[in-house]
Structure 1
Amino acid sequence: MNYSVSVQEQDFDAAGEYQALRDSGAGTGAIATFSGLVRDSGDLHGVTGLFLEHYPGMTEQVITGLIAQASARWDVRKARVVHRVGELALGDQIVFVGVCSAHRGDAFAACSFIMDALKTSAPFWKKELSGSSGHWVEQKDSDLARHKEWE
């Protein structure tokens, strides 16, 4: 299985990430992707941006483990995860998850599993910004329940 993980401050090119997955070889019959964006709502009203922190080294290791879990359950030919950290503005890209497989069912399931697991297992901390104030976001019960459905 071929995979790549990046945790970075700079933006990423979702089209370029998709094309790299598409170039994965003749056995690929399906590619599923997810891109997450900064929105103007969350725990706070009038969110103007986000600040994301992570545990360097550990974060990449955890994400690699999530890809390995997905690969043990589904036919994953290639996987790519990009997650941004630092200060992000409304509309900025936060995360890209892409999975190649021979069949769509495996690609969809693995992509969804990885994204759900990122929300609950990877060591990221998110602060919603609103004007001059901020609020550290706690893990949501709905995210935990969604991830638990994969067990």
Structure 2
Amino acid sequence: MSPPTTPRVRLLDIRDVPLSVDEVAAAVADPAAGGTTVFIGAVRDHDSDKGVTGLEYSAHPSALDRLREVAERVASSYDIVALAAVHRVGRLAIGDLAVVVAVSAGHRGEAFDASRALIDDLKAQVPIWKHQVFTDGTEEWVGTP
């Protein structure tokens, strides 16, 4: 197989506007890809046993650089064709998309493995913090240092 003619890391962003699954999936579309995975993270109406009314994501100024580091590491560690990741910041309502990642590869196994590594490493290493507000009036910060 010849190497891809386009970069493997095709779309990375942190945005304060609604995310598009179609945009992220299109970014990794490629004739060399036999398998594509898309992960969509949405705001749910609960966390553990507490109801959630909404949340707000904040990002450190270095977050996009850290996202690029994570993406490049995943792209170099897996046999993929392309990857893309976009995360939302700002106030989000129940059902809003918080993150969309996609990976295309020659085969489904590589796409699944790289996609899982991408979302897991993004959540663990990119400084984006979640402030949740619960139905009982309490609130919680998640992922802060």
Provide Cα deviations, 1:62-92, integer angstroms capped at 9, x if missing partner.
1111111112221122111010001100010
Q: Which deviates the most, 84-93 or 99-108? A: 99-108
Other-structure match for 2:36: 31
Compare the two structures and name the one with the higher strand fraction. Answer: 2
Q: CA deviation at 1:100?
A: 1.1
Q: CA deviation at 1:44?
A: 6.8
Aligned positions, number: 136
Aligned residue identity for 1:50? L
Provide Cα deviations, 1:109-137, integer angstroms capped at 9, x if missing partner.
11000111111111011110125542212
Q: 1:2 aligns with which of 8, 11, 20?
A: 8
* Structure 1 position 116 matched with structure 2 position 120: yes
Aligned residue identity for 1:72? S
| Aligned pairs for 1:2-151 within 5 A | 2-3=8-9, 4-22=11-29, 24=30, 26-42=31-47, 45-56=50-61, 58-130=62-134, 133-138=138-143
TM-score by length of 2: 0.85
**SS across alignment from 2:118:** helix
Task: Tell me if the contact between 2:37 and 2:111 (Cα under 8 Å) persists in the aligned partners.
Answer: yes
Aligned residue identity for 1:107? A
Compare the two structures and name the one with the higher helix fraction. Answer: 1
Task: Tell me if the contact between 1:44 and 1:130 (Cα under 8 Å) persists in the aligned partners.
Answer: no
Task: Tell me if the contact between 2:55 and 2:133 (Cα under 8 Å) persists in the aligned partners.
Answer: yes
Distance 1:17 1:42 in 2: 27
Task: Tell me if the contact between 2:75 and 2:83 (Cα under 8 Å) persists in the aligned partners.
Answer: no
Distance 2:122 2:131 in 1: 16
Aligned residue identity for 1:17? V
TM-score by length of 1: 0.82
Task: Tell me if the contact between 2:57 and 2:131 (Cα under 8 Å) persists in the aligned partners.
Answer: yes
Provide Cα deviations, 1:13-47, integer angstroms capped at 9, x if missing partner.
2123223322x3x2111111100000111267121
Distance 1:116 1:33 in 2: 14
Identity over aligned pairs, percent: 29
